[in-house]
Structure 1
Amino acid sequence: MIRIGLKKILGGFVGILCVLPSFSQNAKVIIKPHPVFQRYPVELIKETKYDMIEFNRVIPGDSLIFSLEITDPEGEYYKLYDWGALNVFVKPGSVIVIDYNDRDRTKTRFSGDLAKENAWLNQSWFLEFQMLYPGKITFPIVYKDYRKRVFVNADSLKRVVKGISCSEKFVSDCQRRIDFMVIGTLQNYYRISAQNMQRESTPADFESWNRNFKLAFSKKFLKDAYRICKRHKEQDVLQYRQTSQALMGIVYEIDPEFAKRTGYSLFEEEYTLMQVLNDVTRLYSPELLEIQGKVKDSVVLRVINGQIKEKRNLLTGAEVTDCEFKDMDGNVHKLSDYKGIPMYIDVWATWCNPCKALSPNFHELADEYTGKNIKFIAISLDKKITPWLNYLKQHDHSENVLELHTGKRDFANSYQINGIPRFILIDRDFKIRMAFAYKPIESSMKELKILLDQLSRE
């Protein structure tokens, strides 16, 4: 009787300890010193529902101790940035100690508070988002059998995680992630099947097979994906990068309209903006301004407004910032000298090998457009003029290209030139047409010529 009573009492105390709220709103993450951190900085990124479009980074300074202000009393999630994207779960008042393993991140050790939770979040299958991939499966396999094993594994893991933590939030969050791992793993069936078929087929045969197979797979897969998404609130799903990536996989690879059908409006806005942010051609086009008038979420709108403010002078239709240059004879030229003529500008330098590799293409294109209403200009960013002059004397170049040089930073700063080769298109009205114009390479030559022809006729 006494032993049973003690167990009940101890069990009661354990339960109290698990749910006892902390009055502190701060948490600490301590990373043990490691040689690799002497060469590279350590950062934590807070996981939020806006991860697709902006990072909430925390930098510790000179030490490896992060002091985090936790706004959610139930806990928050961070990622160790650039070091294998380790997951870190913190709660108010907690102290997390990380002994990082740079050779195998899955062998990273956690101690202090929430050690079990963080060890669970950083198992290999969790980090790779493939914890549900059915082991020892040989393709081809019937999708029905594959799907069954995936859901059996998911149900098992959901039961296991209940024994890992007494935090209801942690358990429910992990179970949500497992649901979206189901989506990713089911989608792997299509990917692996397609990869295997592509290796064994001719391009024509694969294209025919893929069209039919993808259609049949999508009908079955999307039913499960839709059911899982409707089970969770969009705000909760977007809270974690892994679940957002699962959604991106569906929209990018299977069904572009999936988020709209599911009612995930915030994801739609973020995904659209993310695609623009990752494509400089689109980023400096009118598309950014068009999106601005459509979004409803205040944070997404803030990010868009910030991008517009930063890039305002380079957006399509912006007035050209005039700059001075010198030609091979020392004569001064301004961009405004050619106002009224469309300009296609190649920004390069003699020390830039990719620039020199593209130079013949640029000059051949200039020869092709001789006599047409397009001004071809090559602007060198060499700090000193002598290497530029020597290079031009030793290499052939089109007579239809105006070779100019600037040793000043005003041009590079005005046009945000952080890398070369870079190409710029200016229209006859002395306005930016493309701040990051198509390069004269085979993959984009068709689009480039269409645009040049259009500009020459305007």
Structure 2
Amino acid sequence: MNKKVFSLLQFLFFIVQFFLCNNSFANISNHAILVGVIKGNKGEGITLYRADETSELLNYSNSQYIPTDSTGHFYINIILDKADYYDIGSNTLFISPNDSINMVIDIEDPSISKFSGDGADIQKYLSGNPYYKSASYLEGGKNIRRKLEENLEFILSQEQKRNVELGKLTNVSKSFNYMETARIKADVIISLVHLRSYYKRMFGIKQGLDSIPELKNYHSTAIPIIEQYAYNFTDKKYLALINYRYILSTIIKFNTENRKLKPIIQWSKFSQLSSEIDQAMKTNDVVLLNKLKKDIIGMPNEDYRNAVLNKLSTVSNLIKGMKAVDFDFEDSDGNKRKLSDYKGKSIFIDLWATWCEPCLVQKPDFEKLSKKYKDKGIFLSISLDSDKKRWLTFLKNKEISVIEGWSSFKSLSMYNVVSIPRYIIIDEDFNVFILDAPNSSSKIIQDYFNAL
């Protein structure tokens, strides 16, 4: 059968399912139907993440895997008890009960994703949101101006622009408007707080932040604006926004006498405990893990407490000496593999992605190490790119000295992967030796292989 005809039939099958399920669940209030295609996806699937503050404490391990066919098409019926934000690739979605949304998702560039069906205008609006880790309105530095006043004017003009675009939406809930207005405000604070560091980077300035002549009035002009926007910006509902959580230190700084700050400080403490669990995992510190458990049990807010305890339980099962958790990956030849395929040998794993600059800087060191100790273990270089094609393109015409594989954050969720690069060693008995080595050339790794 012609491949194009087969793909069309597959897509029609998804559409039929869409309408059947749409009718079936029309009167059920806790379902939403998503149907569409992930551009460039050839059956690898994609992960749908909840973006709220409780999920962050869990390292987003409560995410949902969406299977795709060989052309990237998918159909999923999700259960949700209320409207909420979700992330898929770099796209932020707002999904409500009873929604039926058709979408064409570009995982790298949300601005060219397309939507139709229920809430399509909301999804299109969200696709225009700047990314907080690119310092929002500065967009990675490309919007930086030479003069401080021009930067302030630009940032505030972007706020006005987004508010106008938000105001054009019709048939949206008051709560959505409320939260998106807060996101816009948070993006102003993010932009102003990070302005100097992006300015320094974009113009190649080497002196300290307070020594940049063009920004000499930063404290007298930008800081008052930050304070104005941060003051009384303390509704605990805002914690559901990752942009807001990104500026909590600023919010706390300018609201020390505000009683509404209590739940925000409370979440910050849970977030700190979550980070300490990560640190205890890196150092195999069982004593610290036990202490943290006692600290967490005595804290208020059941949802946050259970989330952090859940994370601690997961980490406690993967400290040094515990059995490794198996996971699936695909090698560069398209073969399906498992970590356990290499049981009986020491396994050194490098978790990386093509979009991760520190990963690319350190990758050659990992490859050198593999050549030095090629007779002492298996070296797995596992890409966590959401776009498999991008990973394969990166490998093209490169000398491959390790086993190159492709997996996902979801598949490795039991390993508490929060950031990359990340290095893991599994010993010959398939037990965890180290969950988070400093880097591939660190002394602990050299000592391990020299002792084999």
Q: Same fold (TM over 0.5)?
A: yes
CA contact (8 A) 1:95 1:113 kept: yes
Match runs of 1:407-422 below 5 Å: 422=425
Find out whether 1:170 has 2:209 as its counterpart. no
Counterpart in 2 of 1:276? 276
Aligned-partner Cα distance in 2 for 1:236–1:130: 22
Please give the secondary structure, in 2, of the residue aligned with 1:36: coil
Letter in 1 for 2:184: I
Find out whether 1:78 has 2:82 as its counterpart. no
Aligned-partner Cα distance in 1 for 2:434–2:106: 46
Aligned-partner Cα distance in 1 for 2:214–2:267: 28
CA contact (8 A) 1:284 1:434 kept: no
Deviations 1:194-253 (A, max 9, x none): 3256x344xxx448737x9999746765554454344444432211223323447x59xx
Counterpart in 1 of 2:76? 66
Letter in 2 for 1:243: Y
Letter in 1 for 2:211: W
Aligned-partner Cα distance in 2 for 1:215–1:303: 44
- How far 1:181 moved relative to its partner? 0.7
Deviations 1:8-42 (A, max 9, x none): xxxxxxxxxxxxxx964134333324563333212
CA contact (8 A) 1:358 1:441 kept: no
Find out whether 1:300 has 2:291 as its counterpart. no
Question: Where do 5+ consecutive residues of structure 1 fail to align?
Answer: 1-21, 323-346, 363-378, 384-415, 425-431, 450-458
Find out whether 1:180 has 2:186 as its counterpart. yes
Counterpart in 2 of 1:123? 128
Please give the secondary structure, in 1, of the residue aligned with 2:41: helix
- How far 1:354 moved relative to its partner? 4.0
Counterpart in 2 of 1:47? 51
Aligned-partner Cα distance in 2 for 1:436–1:101: 32
User: CA, structure 1 residues 90+102, in 2 after alignment: closer, same or farther (shift >3 Å)?
Assistant: closer
Question: Where do 5+ consecutive residues of structure 2 fail to align?
Answer: 1-25, 324-344, 351-364, 380-414, 448-452
User: CA, structure 1 residues 213+321, in 2 after alignment: closer, same or farther (shift >3 Å)?
Assistant: same
- How far 1:123 moved relative to its partner? 1.9
- How far 1:173 moved relative to its partner? 1.7
User: CA, structure 1 residues 237+218, in 2 after alignment: closer, same or farther (shift >3 Å)?
Assistant: farther
Aligned-partner Cα distance in 1 for 2:315–2:107: 38
User: CA, structure 1 residues 277+89, in 2 after alignment: closer, same or farther (shift >3 Å)?
Assistant: same
User: CA, structure 1 residues 49+166, in 2 after alignment: closer, same or farther (shift >3 Å)?
Assistant: same
Aligned-partner Cα distance in 2 for 1:310–1:261: 37
User: CA, structure 1 residues 209+91, in 2 after alignment: closer, same or farther (shift >3 Å)?
Assistant: same
- How far 1:191 moved relative to its partner? 1.6
Given the alignment, which residue of 36, 40, 44 partners 1:36? 40
Counterpart in 2 of 1:238? 239
Aligned-partner Cα distance in 1 for 2:230–2:434: 39
Counterpart in 1 of 2:211? 209
User: CA, structure 1 residues 259+68, in 2 after alignment: closer, same or farther (shift >3 Å)?
Assistant: farther
Aligned-partner Cα distance in 2 for 1:421–1:150: 42
User: CA, structure 1 residues 434+285, in 2 after alignment: closer, same or farther (shift >3 Å)?
Assistant: farther
| Paired residues, number | 326
Aligned-partner Cα distance in 1 for 2:28–2:227: 40
Aligned-partner Cα distance in 2 for 1:132–1:24: 40
Please give the secondary structure, in 2, of the residue aligned with 1:164: coil
Deviations 1:142-165 (A, max 9, x none): 35x533442343234323312213
CA contact (8 A) 1:129 1:181 kept: no
- How far 1:260 moved relative to its partner? 7.0
Please give the secondary structure, in 1, of the residue aligned with 2:63: strand
Aligned-partner Cα distance in 2 for 1:141–1:166: 41
Deviations 1:82-111 (A, max 9, x none): x3x212222222211102246743211110
Aligned-partner Cα distance in 2 for 1:231–1:291: 32
Aligned-partner Cα distance in 2 for 1:235–1:217: 29
Letter in 2 for 1:94: D
Please give the secondary structure, in 2, of the residue aligned with 1:51: helix
Aligned-partner Cα distance in 1 for 2:157–2:148: 16
Match runs of 1:2-41 below 5 Å: 24-34=28-38, 36-41=40-45
Letter in 2 for 1:100: I
TM-score by length of 1: 0.55
Aligned-partner Cα distance in 1 for 2:371–2:106: 46
User: CA, structure 1 residues 310+350, in 2 after alignment: closer, same or farther (shift >3 Å)?
Assistant: closer
Please give the secondary structure, in 2, of the residue aligned with 1:273: helix
Aligned-partner Cα distance in 1 for 2:167–2:348: 62
Name the larger-Rg structure. 1
Deviations 1:158-194 (A, max 9, x none): 2331221332222222111100110111123212233
RMSD: 5.0
Please give the secondary structure, in 1, of the residue aligned with 2:187: helix
TM-score by length of 2: 0.56
Please give the secondary structure, in 2, of the residue aligned with 1:150: helix
CA contact (8 A) 1:51 1:241 kept: no
Aligned-partner Cα distance in 2 for 1:175–1:290: 40
Counterpart in 2 of 1:191? 197
Aligned-partner Cα distance in 2 for 1:138–1:311: 41
Aligned-partner Cα distance in 2 for 1:124–1:440: 37
CA contact (8 A) 2:270 2:305 kept: no
